Structure 1
Amino acid sequence: MKLLELPNIGKETARQLEEVGIHDAEELRLVGGKEAWLRIKTSIDPGACIHLLYG
């Protein structure tokens, strides 16, 4: 399943996930939401807020 097909994943979040190596729903499930958020926060968007994680 594509990232954009998931609830609460918009274009910007999908772009960020892909930039940190997460390209589909299965990869996101395997990595987990917390790790995905940490990857975004530490590598491309230090301002990523907790609401991104909650989404």
Structure 2
Amino acid sequence: MSLSSHLNQLKKKHEHLSFEVERAEKSPATDRMHIKSLKKEKLRLKDEIERLHHA
């Protein structure tokens, strides 16, 4: 897998997590720990994207 396609894949996952976080925050039944977990994964992906972008 090329670096470019890997970055695109990570960006898509990050975008999907943004959508999931937004949806979870609007739902009163969502567990706060689940939202925290989604945000943590989103941040991990963002860091990975930045690291690869500057490599």
Larger Rg: 2
**Structure with the higher fraction of residues in helix conformation:** 2
TM-score, normalised with respect to structure 2: 0.28
Larger RCO, structures 1/2 (Cα 8 Å, 6+ apart): 2
